[in-house]
A = this chain, B = another copy of it.
Amino acid sequence: MILCDIGNTTADILKNGKKKKIPLTEFDPEVFEGDVWYANVNCALDEKLKNLPHWQNITTLIEREKYYPTMGIDRILVCEAIEEGVIVDAGSAITVDVMSDGVYQGGFISLGLRSAQEAYSRLSSALEVSFNFEVDLDKMAKNTPDSVTVGFLAPLIHEIQRVNKPIYLTGGDAPIFARYFTDAIVDEILVFKGMQKLINKGSKC
């Protein structure tokens, strides 16, 4: 079985335990052989996927009422992967979601690292600095790059720690966040693990 997570620019594929990223410009769902379970946020592909008999939409297995109506499919899938913990998906935005005993507790959305840096740059050329990931987030800063880094990262990192649950990191910037959470688990295929759990549960019914 193939798992497929389709975004706005790429499709992530999991096949035989291996993850592969395909640019949407090169992505043709018709060439895939065998059953595929997929999550898709790209409206332009909706109709095409619906008409492929061996492509099955993972949303049909989700109990939507466990979550909130406008919550993104990838956020739901990473939550489905975890029974107990705080899940940080650090991509273009950073989503933080909390699961307790398999029940969704809510979450929040921060800006992603790149979008935050861009927003600082837009404010003033004096704030057009790179984040300094070596900075001590438990100290107040005394230069501009550190002030901006501490200003963005320290509140976020401390807020995630406040939840006081096991931390799971996924998304492209997960390795950067990993340095601030000594016990966090970095898992690049959390979305797929959520899909797999839903499929396993679905087939048991």
Chain A residues with a Cβ under 8 A of chain B:
68-70, 72, 92-94, 96-98, 105-112, 115-116, 118-120, 122-124, 126-127, 139-144, 147-148, 150-152, 154-156, 158-159, 162
- CB-CB under 8 A from A115, the residues of chain B are 119, 122-123
Are A123 and B92 within 8 A (Cβ)? yes
Q: What 15 new A-B contacts, CB under 8 Å, besides A106-B140, A107-B140, A109-B120? A: A68-B143, A69-B143, A93-B120, A93-B124, A96-B151, A105-B140, A106-B139, A106-B141, A106-B142, A107-B141, A109-B144, A109-B147, A110-B151, A155-B158, A158-B162
Stoichiometry (number of copies): 2
A70, B147: Cα distance in complex, Å: 11
Tell me the smallest distance from the CB of A143 to a CB of chain B, in Å: 5
- CB-CB under 8 A from A105, the residues of chain B are 140
Given the known inter-chain contacts A115-B119, A119-B118, A155-B156, please indicate yes or no for A108 contacting B68, CB distance below 8 A: no
A83, B165: Cα distance in complex, Å: 38
From A68, A119, A144, residue with most partner B Cβ within 10 Å? A119
A127, B93: Cα distance in complex, Å: 10
- Report the nearest B residue to A120, measured CB to CB: B111
A139, B154: Cα distance in complex, Å: 19
6 A-B interface contacts by CB (under 8 A) = A68-B142, A108-B148, A155-B156, A155-B159, A158-B158, A159-B159
